Amino acid sequence: MPTLHRLLRVILFAAAAAACVAAALQLRERHAAVEQTANDIEDQLNNLDPVTRAAVLARLSKDAEEEIKSEVGAHRH
């Protein structure tokens, strides 16, 4: 029985290690996708004329501010 118990522990440890590796790979892929998307958005913003870029950034800032205020307000109640 001790051998079976040890074998089960090794199998569980290997499964946990495999799950950690899979999660790390998935996180790396997600991070790369987010980084690429951010770069694409930045490139698009840089290609706009200065007035349009300022208007887009102002709108994004206002939207972000409103979202943060609504989140903070929701947590206060």
| Domain with 42 in it | 1-46
Tens digits of per-residue pLDDT, 4-31?
A: 999 999 999 999 999 999 999 999 999 9
Answer yes or no: do 9 and 22 share one domain.
yes
How many Å apart are CA 65 and CA 72, to the nearest integer?
11
Q: What is the pLDDT of residue 71?
A: 86
Answer yes or no: do 10 and 29 share one domain.
yes
Token pair of 35, please?
Answer: 């980084």
Answer yes or no: do 32 and 59 share one domain.
no
- The torsion angles phi and psi of 47, rounded to 5 degrees, stand at -80, -10
Q: Please spell the DSSP secondary structure of 27-75, one letter per residue.
A: HHHHHHHHHHHHHHHHHHHHTS-HHHHHHHHHHHHHHHHHHHHHHHHHH
- Prediction pTM value: 0.60
Answer yes or no: do 64 and 41 share one domain.
no
Answer yes or no: do 72 and 40 share one domain.
no
Answer yes or no: do 41 and 54 share one domain.
no
Number of domains in the chain: 2
Answer yes or no: do 16 and 28 share one domain.
yes
Tens digits of per-residue pLDDT, 30-69?
A: 999 999 999 999 999 999 999 999 999 999 999 999 999 8
